[in-house]
């Protein structure tokens, strides 16, 4: 008699919208209702039935950009830490790079709190001199001068301050890096340990929020690259509009040709986007055939970017003006293939559902609906 194999239990993975962390942590509003939702989620988490994970985009949107919003930002980050702990998704840069170079061996979930694109930092250091260097030239000169003093107890206080002005290192972690200046593993471990403490991250951000740091530049860099892809495609379509109008085509003919043009771009978008990203993120990787099964995040990215482009130019009489939040919505949706429940506002949920991706994720439009849907799945 064959004994049936037991299927290992896997907690349901939940992806909350940034607004959920804001609403649950806001001291105003219906606190009884908020606490009821939060307590229900925490009871499932404590029982090992669900896990809530955060991403780099959650952190980017939680960090306040105005001094007057600091306290609400602190509460948001505290709520993220309370519900997620150190359970995160790998950052989008790493996620896409892995899909381009390691499509059959993707690591998407991380329990060590490593949400930051460490590869971007390590890559820059490696470019500096052809080998991995964890300190820039100025920092190495300062360190060398300190070492030449030949004292038994070296003081790294000034160097710690300088490093902490660019990256949110805890002081003891910065000291470890300075004592091991050419060790990438030490640097990576030190930064990860510092960043997973979101209360420390907030304290650092509060001191540096209005300064341009290497840390903030890296956070903005990837989003800027995706935004440029969106802008370039929209400009290409606008240029085609102008060409047709110069030829004196009727509005009906122009609209039809634009629809055909956009459809052709949309059909090629997944592969074209992958080829473009591969040049920047994985130049040595062999070409990858894009599809929802082997490169699901890139597939979602291309489809949602094209939807936004379409809606911004068609119909021509009533174009939709792209919003700054559109890019954030797309960045969140990259994790859609890897979760069981995905929270989104009504407009974003409609867009995702209209693509008919076929992933296992259930898209819900409110926290109340999320609690109901999860409860039903758990037979509560």
CA dihedral 278, 284, 287, 290 (to 10 degrees): -40
For residues 236 and 300, membership in a common domain is answered with yes
> Looking at the domain assignment, is residue 345 inside a domain?
no
Q: Is the pTM of this model over 0.85?
A: no
> Looking at the domain assignment, is residue 308 inside a domain?
yes
Based on the structure, what is the number of domains in the chain? 2
For residues 165 and 256, membership in a common domain is answered with no
> Looking at the domain assignment, is residue 106 inside a domain?
no
> Looking at the domain assignment, is residue 246 inside a domain?
yes
For residues 183 and 271, membership in a common domain is answered with no
Question: pLDDT tens for residues 11-42?
Answer: 999 999 999 999 999 999 999 999 999 999 99
Question: pLDDT tens for residues 317-340?
Answer: 444 555 555 678 888 999 999 999
Q: Pick the last residue of a domain from 334, 354, 373.
A: 334
Q: Pick the last residue of a domain from 298, 319, 334.
A: 334
Integer CA distances (angstroms), 60 to 96, 138, 154, 215, 324, in order: 18, 29, 36, 11, 13
Question: pLDDT tens for residues 45-71?
Answer: 999 999 999 999 999 899 988 888 999
Question: pLDDT tens for residues 356-375?
Answer: 899 999 999 999 999 999 99
Find out whether 100 and 282 touch, Cβ atoms under 8 Å. Answer: yes
The strand ranges marked E within the chain are: 12-15, 50-52, 88-89, 109-110, 341-343, 362-364
Q: What is the pLDDT of residue 213?
A: 64
Question: pLDDT tens for residues 204-249?
Answer: 988 877 766 667 666 666 555 555 665 666 666 667 667 766 777 7
Q: How far apart are CA 243 and CA 236, in angstroms?
A: 11
For residues 290 and 220, membership in a common domain is answered with yes
For residues 226 and 313, membership in a common domain is answered with yes
Which residues neighbour 344 within 8 Å (Cβ) at sequence distance 6 or greater? Answer: 17, 329, 332, 333, 352, 363, 364, 365
For residues 131 and 225, membership in a common domain is answered with no
Q: How far apart are CA 272 and CA 247, in angstroms?
A: 29
Q: How far apart are CA 280 and CA 275, in angstroms?
A: 9
Integer CA distances (angstroms), 16 to 227, 241, 312, 336, in order: 23, 39, 27, 11
DSSP 105: S
SS3 332: helix
Question: pLDDT tens for residues 279-288?
Answer: 777 778 888 8
Confidence of residue 150 (pLDDT cuts 50, 70, 90): very low
Find out whether 206 and 88 touch, Cβ atoms under 8 Å. Answer: no
For the beta carbon of residue 333, count every other beta carbon within 10 angstroms. 25
- Its domain, for residue 243, covers 216-334
Question: pLDDT tens for residues 155-210?
Answer: 455 666 676 777 888 888 888 888 877 788 888 888 889 999 999 999 998 887 77
């Amino acid at each position: 008699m064959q004994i049936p194999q037991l299927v290992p239990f896997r907690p349901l993975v939940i992806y909350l919208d940034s607004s959920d962390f804001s609403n649950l942590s806001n001291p105003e509003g219906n606190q009884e209702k908020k606490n009821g939702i939060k307590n229900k989620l925490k009871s499932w988490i404590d029982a090992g039935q669900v896990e809530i994970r955060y991403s780099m985009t959650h952190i980017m949107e939680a960090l306040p950009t105005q001094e007057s919003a600091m306290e609400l930002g602190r509460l948001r980050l505290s709520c993220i830490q309370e519900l997620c702990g150190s359970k995160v998704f790998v950052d989008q840069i790493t996620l896409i790079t892995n899909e381009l170079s390691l499509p059959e061996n993707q690591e998407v979930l991380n329990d060590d709190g490593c949400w930051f694109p460490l590869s971007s930092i390590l890559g820059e250091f490696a470019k500096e001199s052809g080998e991995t260097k964890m300190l820039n030239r100025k920092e190495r000169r300062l360190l060398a001068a300190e070492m030449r003093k030949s004292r038994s107890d070296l003081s790294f206080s000034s160097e710690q301050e300088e490093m902490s002005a660019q990256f949110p290192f805890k002081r003891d972690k910065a000291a470890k890096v300075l004592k091991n200046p050419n060790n990438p593993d030490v640097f990576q471990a030190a930064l990860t340990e510092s960043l997973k403490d979101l209360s420390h991250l907030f304290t650092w951000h509060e001191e540096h929020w209005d300064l341009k740091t290497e840390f903030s530049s890296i956070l903005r860099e990837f989003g800027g690259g995706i935004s440029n892809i969106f802008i370039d495609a929209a400009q290409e379509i606008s240029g085609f509009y102008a060409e047709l109008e110069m030829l004196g085509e009727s509005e009906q003919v122009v609209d039809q040709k634009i629809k055909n043009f956009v459809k052709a771009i949309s059909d090629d978008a997944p592969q074209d986007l992958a080829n473009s990203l591969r040049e920047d993120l994985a130049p040595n990787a062999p070409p990858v055939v894009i599809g929802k099964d082997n490169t699901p995040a890139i597939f979602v990215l291309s489809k949602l970017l094209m939807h936004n482009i379409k809606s911004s130019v068609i119909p021509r009489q009533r174009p939709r003006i792209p919003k700054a939040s559109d890019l954030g919505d797309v960045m969140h949706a990259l994790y859609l293939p890897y979760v069981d429940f995905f929270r989104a506002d009504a407009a974003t949920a409609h867009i995702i559902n209209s693509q008919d991706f076929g992933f296992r994720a259930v898209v819900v439009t409110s926290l109340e609906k999320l609690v109901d849907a999860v409860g039903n799945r758990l037979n509560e």
